[in-house]
């Protein structure tokens, strides 16, 4: 599927109180991640969600930040990770991408944490820019739709092991 064929997404209606979402972002590529955050913000604020945004040093730190947030006294209904890794000339890209993806999946699965995963793993900065523009291809907006879907499931199944209630 090319980026021209991105599916249209509709904003969900959530039962219950408005969700509180923690955004964990790695703003190394500030313009790209800022564009993704703007896309996510549009989706989340469209359903009345409140957002808390924290910065981490880089993509590698995002899974550990998620784990720390799950153990915090403050509670969120869902989590959103936003970042970008651009392929360079070394193997660093492969190790970082694999580690972040596996780390995020491990933490979210272990704790049943609703997670929208918006980590761009691209060959060029131009590819990242194309995926952070304010249009239907914005990957931050897509990740926001994903976390809202997960929050909906958690509420449907009354799963609140870690969530604020």
- Taken as a whole, the chain contains a residue count of 165
What is the tally of helices (H) and strands (E) in the chain? 5, 4
Q: What residues contact 150, with CB distance under 8 A and at least 6 apart?
A: 78, 114, 115, 116
Q: Based on the residue annotation, tell me whether 161 is a catalytic residue of this protein.
A: no
What are the DSSP calls for 45-58, one per residue?
HHTT-EEEEEE-SS
CA 151 – CA 113 distance, rounded (Å): 9
| Residues carrying an active site annotation | 92
């Amino acid at each position: 599927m090319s980026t021209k064929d991105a599916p249209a997404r509709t904003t969900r209606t959530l039962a219950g109180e408005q969700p509180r979402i923690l955004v964990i972002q790695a703003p190394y590529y500030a313009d790209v991640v800022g564009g993704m955050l703007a896309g996510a913000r549009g989706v989340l604020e469209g359903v009345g969600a409140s957002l808390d945004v924290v910065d981490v040093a880089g993509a590698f730190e995002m899974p550990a930040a998620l784990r720390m947030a799950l153990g915090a006294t403050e509670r969120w209904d869902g989590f959103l990770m936003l970042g970008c890794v651009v392929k360079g000339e070394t193997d660093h890209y492969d190790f970082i991408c694999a580690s972040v993806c596996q780390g995020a999946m491990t933490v979210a699965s272990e704790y049943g944490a609703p997670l929208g995963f918006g980590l761009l793993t691209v060959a060029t900065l131009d590819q990242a820019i194309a995926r952070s523009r304010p249009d239907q291809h914005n990957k931050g907006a897509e990740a926001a739709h994903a976390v809202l879907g997960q929050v909906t499931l958690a509420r449907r199944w009354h799963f609140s092991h870690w969530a604020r209630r």
